[in-house]
Each structure stands twice: as structure tokens, then as C-alpha cells.
Chain A
Amino acid sequence: AQKITQTQPGMFVQEKEAVTLDCTYDTSDQSYGLFWYKQPSSGEMIFLIYQGSYDEQNATEGRYSLNFQKARKSANLVISASQLGDSAMYFCAMREGGSQGNLIFGKGTKLSVKP
């Protein structure tokens, strides 16, 4: 079974609107971290936001917020006030507490922002 599932291969959003990118995860660890990365067409992986399994508050970083629902094992990324520069691939990733530290990535969602 996949540990990270991103069910939306592609998404469109109108500029200035908000968009939610879905991510569900599967782990039996109690301690884990969830990450979102952005990959523009240039190829670099840019860290956006982090949520720890014990964090009670949803993480926020500027226009990015993480809608963390632990019981449902979901960690959706919300981008508010979309900008043209937000067009990119977005990857959800998990690091399990018992692992050697590597990230497990989903297959990604391609977001296109329309002017």
C-alpha cells in the first residue's frame, strides 16, 4: 500500500482564489512529520511547510497552511490568494519516526494558476 497518496494529478485554480491540494498518509508510527514541497519547472524542490504528528495546531507559513486531520490521516495543503508563480508540482512527503530519516513522497499534484 502506498504510504503517501495524492489523488489529484492536476488542478486548476483562478488567480487570487484559494486551492486545496489533497494528501493522505498511512503509518503505524505515533511520531512522524509531514512536509510539503513545491517543484517549479526549473526542477528544484522548495520546502513549504511542516506539520508534526504531535502538533495540535495546523501549521501556517504565509499563504500556505496545512489542514491536518490526524484521525483521517490527511494533511491537505491550502494555498490562499493563488499567484501565477504558484504554478508548479506539489509533493506531499512523510518522515516516520522510526525510519532512518528519509522522506517518503507522493506522486505529486500539478497546479496550474489561470490569470
Chain B
Amino acid sequence: GAGVSQSPSNKVTEKGKDVELRCDPISGHTALYWYRQSLGQGLEFLIYFQGNSAPDKSGLPSDRFSAERTGGSVSTLTIQRTQQEDSAVYLCASSRAPGSFGETQYFGPGTRLLVL
């Protein structure tokens, strides 16, 4: 089926505004991951969902960040009161099940967030 999709592809916002980023995983994939990639850097893990549950939220950089997943499918990452340091590419990935350490994660095209 289709790959991981993310929307919007680009988002420009003003400092202090809230933004919502959406991820639609590959059909049948129960595990969903959010990562952040700052300019010229590797990927930083934010949060992981197994089904609708996020067992560990410690990767979120501050309490302005939150995420939810409904119906075991679509996930939304929300950033409240955005700051300029939140500017980055936000990548979503999904995999069939997290049980095996060999399970491949497939990435979406990312959302490029710019906070002015």
C-alpha cells in the first residue's frame, strides 16, 4: 500500500503560535515514531506509539510538545507556543511491530517547520 504520509509538508508560523503536525502510517503498522531533525544534524527521537499508547514520553524536549494517536492509525504532534529553536524537520516513521529489534522503520517525507 501507500507509504507513510505527513502533512503539511511545510509550515511557517510565528513565534508563540501553536502548530499541529499530522502523520498517517503505513496501513497495518502498529508502531509509530516521531523524530526531529535540526539543520545539518542527525535525527533526534521524540516519542513512540504502540497502538494508541505512548509508553515513554521522555524524548519530548519540553512540555510544550505533546502527541496523540487515535484508532491505532493517524498521529498528531502538537507544539504549543512555538519558539524559534523548534524550527526543524519533523519526521514520522512506522513499523509493523516493535517487538523485534530488526523491525525496519519506514519514514514519511517530513514536515519542515519554520518559526519566525
By a beta-carbon cutoff of 8 Å, the part of chain A in contact with chain B is: 4, 31-33, 35, 37, 42-47, 50, 52-53, 91, 93, 95-97, 99-108
A51 CA to B104 CA, complexed, in Å: 11
Pair A32/B101 contact, Cβ less than 8 Å: yes
Q: Mark B6-49, 1 if CB is under 8 A from A, else 0.
A: 00000000000000000000000001010100000111110010
Nearest 7 A/B pairs, CB to CB: A101-B98, A45-B107, A105-B42, A102-B45, A33-B101, A105-B43, A97-B101
Q: Offer 25 A-B interface pairs, CB within 8 angstroms, sorted by A.
A: A4-B42, A31-B101, A32-B101, A33-B103, A37-B107, A43-B110, A45-B93, A45-B107, A47-B105, A50-B102, A52-B101, A53-B101, A91-B42, A91-B43, A95-B103, A99-B101, A100-B48, A101-B31, A101-B33, A101-B48, A101-B101, A101-B103, A104-B45, A105-B35, A105-B43
